[in-house]
Structure 1
Amino acid sequence: MERGPRASAARPPDSEPATAARALASARELLDDRVVEPLLRTHAARVLIAGGVAGLVSRTVVAPLERTKILFQVQGLSVSPPGQPLRYRSVAQSLRAILEKEGLRGWFKGNGANCVRIIPMSALQFYAFDVLTQQITESGSSSALTPLQRLWAGALAGAFAQTITYPLDFMRARLTVDMSGRYSGILSGMAVVVRQEGVRSLYRGLVPSLVGIMPYVGVDFMVYGTLREWLPRDAATGEPGTGAKLMAGAVAGAAGQTVAYPLDTVRRQLQVQDVKVKYPDVPKYRGLVDCFFGIVRRDGMRGLYRGIWPNYLKVAPSISIQFVIFEHMCKSLAATRERIDERRAARRQHA
């Protein structure tokens, strides 16, 4: 039998790449069978995955504006001494100030906690809306929801998701305004809060949060779903174009924020009012109503909407991206599941 260099030279030149390709294909099939297919087996799982990815991407894109918004909302309470000029006066000035003091990472401070929160929240929100939509359509005579039905389904879905994930939202706000390094992370921060303020503090601001999230998410789903039905359809796909859907999402997000923003401001101030005790004259609120009217007395109605302009800049791309990515992910995951099923059927035929 011939050995050595001649035998190697006699081997077909494409044998090794072909072997590698077959090994890669086998590994991909194994991954699909053992990991991907179980994850995508049910419609509910695909909705949860799509919702989580949509929330993660959309919030990370607008993280600098999210931090600016929160600093606008709470600066009169815990960032500056009473009577001092406001530190953050405009979006551009705020972004520059954060960059100069904390560097580029400062723009994304608190975003890790936000992502940990938003992945389950967005997933649960879209899942709950999907379940409620199915129940409404199955119990009615029409397969399409009315605007009012979308409003209620979205409101209940938002309340469900917010209640479950609220402690993460609470810590995200604390991490965002913490300038002293008191909190080093989500779990360690929760431990500090529980030790110093009690377990109930993790749910401080939950009531105004629920009161605010229900109209916000409800209006988002109602406006986007209604506008989507009115959008012109592409002749080839039968679907509205991506640009048109992004515009519909922007309008929906702006409408939802306008309705819910005052209660979001109340929630933020309740969450962070114990971050600093350096200034004894800083007001301490006893609850939702006290905080609401305290802000109005001190700053007027404008105080309830402080930070809404950077929030509009944040909401437009955030909600747009969230809806578009969710729809794209749902289609992509369903197509992946169909591809796996077709390949399995082909293997059975050749077996």
Structure 2
Amino acid sequence: MVKSDLVLGGMAAMGAVMFTNPIDVVKTRMQLQGELAARGTYVKPYRHLPQAMLQIIRNDGLLALEKGLLPALHYQFILNSIRLSVYSNALEYGYLQDKDGNIAFYRGMFFGALGGGTGTFLASPFYMIKSQQHAQAVEAIAVGFQHKHTSMYDAMQKIYRAHGFRGFWRGSTTSLIRAFTASSVQIGTFPKAKAWLQDNGWIKHPVLLSFCSGLISGSMVSIANAPFDVVTTRMYNQPVDANGRGLVYRGLLDCFIKILRKEGLHGMYKGFWPIYFRSAPHITLTFVFFDKLMLLRNRYLYKEAA
């Protein structure tokens, strides 16, 4: 069961990212534009989600919306195969339920953070490469530092040659905090939202129930996680010296302070709407796909047992 949960969780997230990667590309670029510049003092090639997508297509072609897809698929498989497996098994063994059998909010948050943190740390190299490829653009619409990777494998070779294995986990601490926040809120709110909708009799269809529960959960994740998402993108995309140290930000706290001083609170929520329009459907699709794959697996096991 555990092994199949690992695979199904990863497959569900890979299916979701196929639809949401273009939004993630826009999110990354909006988070990088006007980096450490006061509001209103820089050119904004990306104003909002629809305009940004058209801007990318006009200048860089339709396929540019799928930049970083391969590392994104690797990242999502590793992260969610671990995160959803931890959640599923904790639920199965009763670790999430209180004495009355209800899903305990703080237990859900704990196991969500545990699974999300573990998965994020292991998948950190792919998130870094994904972010760097998302930022790559033609000069007319380029924002942030341009790493100019030709592929995921090219990026891995460059990082290893310059900084060894340690280079793959640069910025992983920042990513861990982002993951703890997102996963604890996501896993903590999804079952509560699902139980709330189900207990009140508002939604009965299982797929629609998963969809609406994921939508509520995704909204909460977007609000809580946006500042950590911005900081993670900046930390991963910044240039580094020969020793692998960041040339713009020394660490998580330094990044937060510099953004707040130079860009204000607005800077911490750059790209919020792409974060929302990416997070909500991604979480929704992941749980919908996971529920359907679990259902298919259980049906297969039932037939085998019969």
State the TM-score, normalizing by the size of structure 2. 0.86
Equivalences for residues 143-292 of structure 1 within 5 A: 143-179=101-137, 182-232=148-198, 240-274=205-239, 284-292=248-256
SS in 2 for 1:274: coil
Name the CA distance, whole Å, in 2 between partners of 1:295 and 1:287: 12
Change beyond 3 A, Cα 1:288–1:181: closer
From 324, 341, 350, give the equivalent of 2:288. Answer: 324
Alpha-carbon deviation of 1:147?
Answer: 0.9
Q: Give, as a single letter, the amino acid of the residue that structure 1 aligns with 2:283.
A: I
Contiguous gaps of at least 5 residues in structure 2? 138-145, 242-246
Question: 1-side partners of 2:173 and 2:104: how far apart?
Answer: 28
| CA distance in structure 1 between the aligned counterparts of 2:120 and 2:96, rounded to whole angstroms | 26
Counterpart residue type for residue 208 of structure 1: T
> More displaced, 257-266 or 132-141?
132-141
Q: 1:239 to 1:328 in 2, by over 3 A?
A: farther
What is the CA deviation profile of residues 269-311 of structure 1, one whole-angstrom value per residue up to 9, with x for unaligned ones? 01111189xxxxxx71111011101011111001011001111
Q: Distance in 2 between matches of 1:197 and 1:101?
A: 33
In structure 2, do the counterparts of structure 1 residues 139 and 228 end up closer, same or farther at CA, with 3 Å as the change threshold? closer
Q: 1:48 to 1:239 in 2, by over 3 A?
A: farther
Bigger mean CA deviation after superposition, 285-294 or 171-180: 171-180
C-alpha displacement at 1:204, in angstroms?
A: 2.2
Is the partner of 2:109 in helix, strand or coil? helix
Residue 103 of structure 2 aligns to a residue in which SS?
coil
1:85 counterpart residue number: 43
Contact 2:71/2:130 (8 A) holds in 1:
yes
| CA-atom RMSD in angstroms | 2.7
1:308 aligns with 2:266: no
Asked which structure has the greater CA Rg, the reply is 1
Task: Provide the C-alpha distance between the structure 2 equivalents of 1:222 and 1:200, rounded to a whole number of angstroms.
Answer: 32
Identify if the C-alpha distance between structure 1 residues 248 and 128 changes in structure 2 by more than 3 Å, giving closer, same or farther.
same
Distance 1:231 1:83 in 2: 46
Listed as ranges, the gaps of 5+ residues in structure 1 are 1-42, 277-282, 343-351
For 2:109 and 2:124, the matched residues in 1 are separated by 22
Secondary structure of the structure 2 residue equivalent to 1:131: helix
Q: What secondary structure sits across from 2:95 in the alignment?
A: helix
Letter in 2 for 1:298: K
Q: Secondary structure at the match of 2:67?
A: coil
Does structure 1 residue 137 correspond to structure 2 residue 102? no
Q: Secondary structure at the match of 1:231?
A: helix
TM-score (normalised: structure 1): 0.76
**1:55-104 deviations in whole A, cap 9, x for unaligned?**
011111111111100111112349xxx95412211111110111012211
